[in-house]
Amino acid sequence: MSRLPVRTRLAALVLLAGVPVAALAQAPGATPRAAGADAADAADELPIRRITLYRSGVGGFERRGVVGADARIQLRVRTEQVNDILKSMVVLDLSGQGRIDNVAYGSKEPLARRLASFGIDLSDEPALGTILARLRGTPVTMTMQGGITITGQIIGGEVRMQAQGTAQQLVGVPYLSLLTPTGIQTLNLLDARAIRIDDPALKTELEMALAALAEHRADRTKAVEIVTSGPPGREIHVGYIHEMPVWKVSYRLVLPDTGPSPRGAAASVQGWAIVENTTDGDWNDVRLSLVSGRPVSFTMDLYQPLYIERPDLPVPQVAAALPRLYELSAGERPMDAMADARARFAARRSESVAGRPAAPAAAEARAFELGKALQSADRMLGAEEMTEFAARAAALAQESGEVFQYEIDAPVTIERQRSAMLPIINQGVAARRVSIYSRSEGGQHPMRGVDLTNTTSLQLLPGPVAVYDGAVYAGDAQIGHVSPNDSRLLSYAVDLETAVLLKDESSVNVQRLRIVSGVLLQTQQYRRTVTYEFTSKDAARGRTLVIEHPRDTSMTLVKPEKPAQETPANYRFELLLEPGQTASLPVIEERTDRVSLGLLDFDHPTLLRYQKEGKASEAVLKAFQDGQQRRAAIADAERRLADLEREQASISEDQNRIRSNMASIDRTSQLYTRYMQKLTEQETRLEELIGKIREGRDEVARLKQALADFVSRLTVE
């Protein structure tokens, strides 16, 4: 059986209780009841009149109704929603004749703190042995294996390491020590079959702790009670927010079935809002608003009491103080009573939602003719029927502050834990058929797509788009946020009748060489050419190709001179492809680089060629040649120095040989005399070589320093 509306069920209950239906709370806008109405007629619940859903995961709820005298309005909400309600609730007495006394709700003591308050502390989820050890001195009766019963007072517990199993692995075994009439007994808790607490008070505490655990698990809903006072017939407004699923939107884009649409041809976009009622109550005839804004929203635990750890200080001991009398100040007098300032509403804002304008007579006649044609002939639906007979938009779009919202123009009913699709858009938009190729995505074929311009006054929100080519499903696309007059590309299928071929070329052209502070700066131009070549296999229909070329911020676009569109990541170029033909688009980009090179490491023939081509001046070439001559002079000096050092090493080696031979011959022999004479001549030459080597090293150092000074001061254009 379908669920009855809340007001119908409430009326039935009142009739069963013998109370007239007229005593029910009046709806908003009705004439207030007489001031002498019974306070018992006050409504326990205010009906939901308006719901505003946001795309930030929250929903705003507005309840409104007329209450009796000193009414107590009760809201039943989920426990996890209490924090949001405490953070956001607004209560208004729109009559201005009563008073909002307070909002009461059951406190939520932290579970660990509640458990710790019982005589048996279960807050840390203790094991059985730990629980019994905490009950030292408590009388218990334990039934062991074999039916043996032992009664005594608990002394304490311990864990013993014992070998278990065939592997003799040590495990902890809990034991409990009892003081029995026959003495102290230590019992293995693994052998216990039953344990009874003989202290009735502690047994009751254990039962209460376990009940608190069960209550915490089952605590799903809470009652929030709004206490008001005042005469009957007052209209009360209660507003609050809490977490809700994000409302979603999906679109159907119907393209004209007359072939490729020219620029600006109108397609039809139909939008549906998807709304879920995940609350525990029905939404009966509520006003629904769908807001596109995303207000900042967060959660904060205001429901659970918070306690601050305080230091435990010793009681101070001070000397007793004598009583003292204080004199009355000359200017002191009793405080004047404050006047009760109560805000009253001067006027109440009426809510009205404008209906849709009636369709023109010509449009109605056209729809009637289409309907007759469809009924009289079994023919396929076309784009005109897809647009004409689609669900009409049931929402009014409007700006509210800084956000955009859809206001559903008729009350909405959605049962609890059910969802609904609501038509919010059905308008024509400017669209043209295109094929889209993105270099970053690659592939051998472009994508069939649509260049869509939001020519409506509505905000198109992100969501999926089912594209229909006439009445035939063509594919799915996805759209981001599109403001009025903005354009977006949508791709929905692969264009298998168009093939693409890419050709990449690059070149480097040296433009100029100059010398700055001894460094050869080479200015060169890097050119990159990407040629997009498209071939159509469709002999009947042409294509408008949109080519997305990656945008490199370091490069300058040379050809084409200007893209059709430009995004932060891509250039977009357009190319017309005739049926069955081939068309190409070269994209040329350039970049000027400056490369630092070592002046003396550059290739001399290459520099000569650059000088003849006008890329290097005569002064640059002369400076380079001067530097090369200086380097050649250093090389000559180093070569002469190396010859002297080799000669010195050779003489030293020969002297070592001679001295070795002299040690084995007679000092009076003629050979010994000849060796001595040769050693004397070599020593003279060594002294001469040492001087020349010193001079050669000084010359090399001087030439190198001169070259370094020359290069560092050299700047030639």
The pLDDT score that the predictor gives to residue 272 is 92
CA separation for the pair 133, 154 (Å, rounded): 7
Per-residue pLDDT tens over the stretch 443-501: 899 999 999 898 888 888 889 999 998 888 989 999 888 888 888 899 999 999 999 99
- The three state secondary structure string of 537-567 is CCCCCCEEEEEEEECCCCCEEEECCCCCEEC
Q: Which residues contact 555 (CB under 8 A, 6 or more apart)?
A: 528, 589, 590, 591
Q: Residue 527's pLDDT is what?
A: 92
What is the model's pLDDT at position 590? Answer: 93
| Per-residue model confidence (pLDDT) at position 395 | 64
Contacts of 43 (CB under 8 A, 6+ apart): 24, 25, 65, 66, 67, 68, 71, 73
- For residue 510, the surrounding DSSP H or E stretch is strand 498-516
- What pLDDT was estimated at residue 396? 67
**By three-state DSSP, how is residue 7 classified?**
helix
C-alpha span between 186 and 176 (Å, rounded): 6
Question: Residue 164's pLDDT is what?
Answer: 78
Of 65, 57, 416, 513, the closest CA to residue 244 belongs to 57
Nearest to 157 by CA among 137, 182, 181: 137
Which pLDDT score is estimated for 82?
87
> Which pLDDT score, from 0 to 100, does residue 578 have?
93
Give the global pTM.
0.60
| DSSP-derived secondary structure letter, 640 | H
**Phi, psi torsion values for 654, nearest 5 degrees:** -70, -35
Q: What pLDDT score was predicted for residue 318?
A: 54
Quick one: pLDDT at residue 531?
Answer: 95
Q: How far apart are CA 391 and CA 231, in angstroms?
A: 47
The 3-state secondary structure of 586-598, one letter per residue = EEEEEEEEEEEEE
Residues of the chain scoring pLDDT < 50: 1-43, 260-264, 320-322, 324-360, 377
The confidence score (pLDDT) of residue 8 equals: 36
Q: What interhelical angle do 604-612 and 618-662 show, nearest 10?
A: 170
160: its two tokens? 């013993």
pLDDT in tens, 33-49: 333 333 334 345 789 99
Which tokens belong to 489? 């590309």
DSSP 178-192: EEETTEEEEEEGGGE
Cβ neighbours of 171 (radius 10 Å): 11
CA distances from residue 278 to 1, 59, 196, 405, 415 in whole angstroms, order as listed: 21, 11, 46, 21, 9
Sign of CA dihedral 321, 324, 330, 333: positive
- Residue 436 pLDDT: 92
pLDDT of residue 574: 93
